[in-house]
């Protein structure tokens, strides 16, 4: 491989465009090709960035100017197409979630391990200054012993978000609703900051939207450390509030809202509030911008060049999916669920309406 890593984008929808803008700001990398099964979409993004368009992943994988593929297609295709990429010996950067089922996610991780391809999952919240500082504060003991770690994703999606998309809000391609699609960012951050989870109790509803999956979920977590946490995820909460992570330890508390730390109160320590105050996806999925995709892609490119694990590996992404599945399993069975889950567990496509 040359010093510059050649990156292809698979899926030229909303997030594919964000990837293209982000790649332009990444060192030692270039966008080499755009792939989409919908010709008009591939052509549009490819033209905008002056690269060739390809309409079939298999064709793209034969090209010498593709070292890695960004998987930006609907979530239910992540592992199927990502596994093709890894089996061709090309590196994989897959959008969240790694897939919508554990067995499929596992196949992708194993394909990467077998061929030596890197597999990384996009959870850009870990790359925000606020997220990093909160993680370092908790793991460095700034807050004392962790007592509670709570995540709130009270977002809103206009009904057209579901009705205008062929795959949002479907079991087949979204794999669930407000939790696996929107809430998953904070599930990942909660796990990264609060540590491994021992058990989950959850309830879910389809409260507002005309969809087959949940748009409301509440869960209670017990971390392996003994700390507790609650998670609330929604796409039904008008007007939509910035996502939040609260940590409370024996010495003090902090609150992260969006990409900002809005409270940091530790006995005997100066307050460390602040952050980037960037727009969140609380009520508009297009508002997130490409800013935090830049460090994620930079880390992926550096991991390839330095032959090391990316910061959020495929195995990491699989653990976050396992936590999502534990919430679904608890809500489905109406009882507490302990981790780890059986690796072949998949949810039943059935949610109570409110
Ligand atoms: N990290 C984030 O904050 C973030 C934000 C939005 C979306 N996402 C993730 O990105 C992924 C895509 O979401 P989106 O909003 O861009 O969706 P989208 O519907 O806007 O775009 C998906 C694209 O994939 C293409 N596609 C579908 N099947 C294909 C196939 N078999 N081969 C090639 N192309 C195919 C479609 O034509 C479309 O252009 C999802 O998994 C979603 O969870 C992540």
* pLDDT at residue number 188: 98
- Find the 95 Cα to ligand 1 centroid distance in Å: 8
Average pLDDT, the chain: 97
Whose CA is closest to 217, among 255, 256, 187? 187
Instruction: Please tell me if the CB atom of residue 122 comes closer than 6 angstroms to any atom of ligand 1.
Output: yes
* pLDDT at residue number 3: 87
Ordered domains of the chain (ranges, CATH) = 5-124+291-313 (3.40.50.720), 125-284+319-338 (3.30.360.10)
Instruction: Please tell me if the CB atom of residue 279 comes closer than 6 angstroms to any atom of ligand 1.
Output: no
* pLDDT at residue number 69: 99
Tokens 């010495």 locate to 251
pLDDT, tens only, 238-281? 999 999 999 999 999 999 999 999 999 998 888 888 888 788 89
pLDDT, tens only, 84-141? 999 999 999 999 999 999 999 999 999 999 999 999 999 999 999 999 999 999 999 9
- Does the structure show a pLDDT above 70 at 15? yes
- Find the 237 Cα to ligand 1 centroid distance in Å: 24
- Does the structure show a pLDDT above 60 at 1? no
Mean pLDDT of 212-218: 98
Alpha-carbon torsion (232, 235, 237, 240), positive or negative: positive
- Find the 57 Cα to ligand 1 centroid distance in Å: 14
Residues facing residue 206 across a β-bridge? 353
* pLDDT at residue number 274: 84
- Find the 28 Cα to ligand 1 centroid distance in Å: 25
Residues facing residue 68 across a β-bridge? 7, 91
Which residue's CA is the nearest one to ligand 1's atom 29? 37
Mean pLDDT of 190-211: 98
Q: How far is CA 100 from CA 179, 213, 234, 346, in A?
A: 11, 13, 18, 9
Mean pLDDT of 213-224: 98
Q: Choose the residue to mutate in 55, 72, 312 for probing ligand 1, maximizing ligand atoms within 8 Å of C-beta.
A: 72
Instruction: Please tell me if the CB atom of residue 15 comes closer than 6 angstroms to any atom of ligand 1.
Output: yes
């Amino acid at each position: 491989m040359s010093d510059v890593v050649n990156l292809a984008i698979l899926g030229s929808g909303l997030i594919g465009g964000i990837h293209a803008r982000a790649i332009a700001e990444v060192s030692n990398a270039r966008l080499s090709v755009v792939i989409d099964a919908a010709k008009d979409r591939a052509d549009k993004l490819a033209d905008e960035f002056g690269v060739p368009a390809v309409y079939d992943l298999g064709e793209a994988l034969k090209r010498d100017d593709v070292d890695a593929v960004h998987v930006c297609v609907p979530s239910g295709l992540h592992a199927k197409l990502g596994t093709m990429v890894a089996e061709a010996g090309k590196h994989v950067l897959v959008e969240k979630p790694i897939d919508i089922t554990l067995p499929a996610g596992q196949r992708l991780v194993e394909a990467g391990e077998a061929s030596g391809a890197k597999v990384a999952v996009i959870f850009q919240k870990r790359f925000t200054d606020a997220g990093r500082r909160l993680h370092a504060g908790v793991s460095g003991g700034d807050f004392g012993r962790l007592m509670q770690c709570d995540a709130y994703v009270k977002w809103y999606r206009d009904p057209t978000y579901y009705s205008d998309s062929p795959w949002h809000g479907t079991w087949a391609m979204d794999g669930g609703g407000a939790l696996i699609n929107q809430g998953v960012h904070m599930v990942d951050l909660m796990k990264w900051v609060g540590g491994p989870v021992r058990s989950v109790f959850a309830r879910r509803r389809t409260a507002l939207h005309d969809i087959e999956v949940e748009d409301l979920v509440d869960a209670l977590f017990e971390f392996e450390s003994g700390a507790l946490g609650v998670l609330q995820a929604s796409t039904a909460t008008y007007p939509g509030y910035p996502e939040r992570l609260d940590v409370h330890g024996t010495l003090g508390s902090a609150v992260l809202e969006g990409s900002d730390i809005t409270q940091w109160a530790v006995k005997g320590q100066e307050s460390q509030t602040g952050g980037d105050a960037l727009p969140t996806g609380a009520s508009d999925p297009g508002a997130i911008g490409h800013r935090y995709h830049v460090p994620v892609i930079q880390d992926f490119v550096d991991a390839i060049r330095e032959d090391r694990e990316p910061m959020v590996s495929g195995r990491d992404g699989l653990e976050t999916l396992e936590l999502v599945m534990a919430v679904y399993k608890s809500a489905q069975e109406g009882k507490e669920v302990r981790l780890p889950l059986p690796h072949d567990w998949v949810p039943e496509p059935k949610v109570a309406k409110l």
